Amino acid sequence: MAGKTIKANARPPAKAKRRGFRVGDLAVYPAHGVGQIQAVESRVVNGEKHDFYILRVLENGMVIMIPTGNVESVGLRCLIDVKEIPKVYASCGPGAKCWQTTRPGTGAIANTWKRSRPARSSTWPSLPRPFRLKLTKDLSFGERKLYDTAQVLLVKELSKAKKTDEKTIITEIESLFSHEAA
């Protein structure tokens, strides 16, 4: 497929459907959130022609060029299917095990936010622990930043997937933890 030009409105072949995006599609880029494919362009880099998705992040307008051949390795993916949202909520709700690290031999929860960043690379597992901590104490700067980032990314994606406003999603997420606040 080297040297093949992707037309902006062309459908990807069935084999590549999972990673194929068209202009106007919404996609999720890890750590930046939901964006819209603005164009599919061919550019010459180091003397070789490559195809790129041009993604504009909805939250801040940042533009990211993603080589079409690197979609999986960078984690670019479609929005969550609306049918999968209950699983996300279940991972945050009562009785759900949220991400946490314990100190060896003690069972005590370790405060290893900085060292455990790779373990928290997906959005929703990052939300329950800081939200639960927020109910009982003020969050540290790092915890608050993690919480805010996870919430913004999750709320934006879920609101786009459910085609609803972000306030509704925030209310739904907060209701998952309301039993713990009492």
Q: How confident is the model at residue 169 (pLDDT cuts 50, 70, 90)?
A: very high
* Per-residue model confidence (pLDDT) at position 93: 65
Sketch out the chain's domains with CATH numbers: 14-78 (2.40.10.170), 82-181 (1.20.58)
Kindly tell me if the per-residue pLDDT of 174 is higher than 50.
yes
pTM: 0.68
pLDDT mean over 66-95: 87
CA proximity to 126, closest of 116, 140, 136, 115 = 116
Q: How far apart are CA 121 and CA 144, in angstroms?
A: 16
Alpha helices in 47-127 (DSSP H): 71-74, 85-92
Cβ atoms of 110 and 102 closer than 8 Å: yes
- Min mean pLDDT across 126-130, 156-160, 175-179 is at 126-130
Kindly state the tokens that stand for 143: 């915890």
Q: How far apart are CA 58 and CA 137, in angstroms?
A: 32
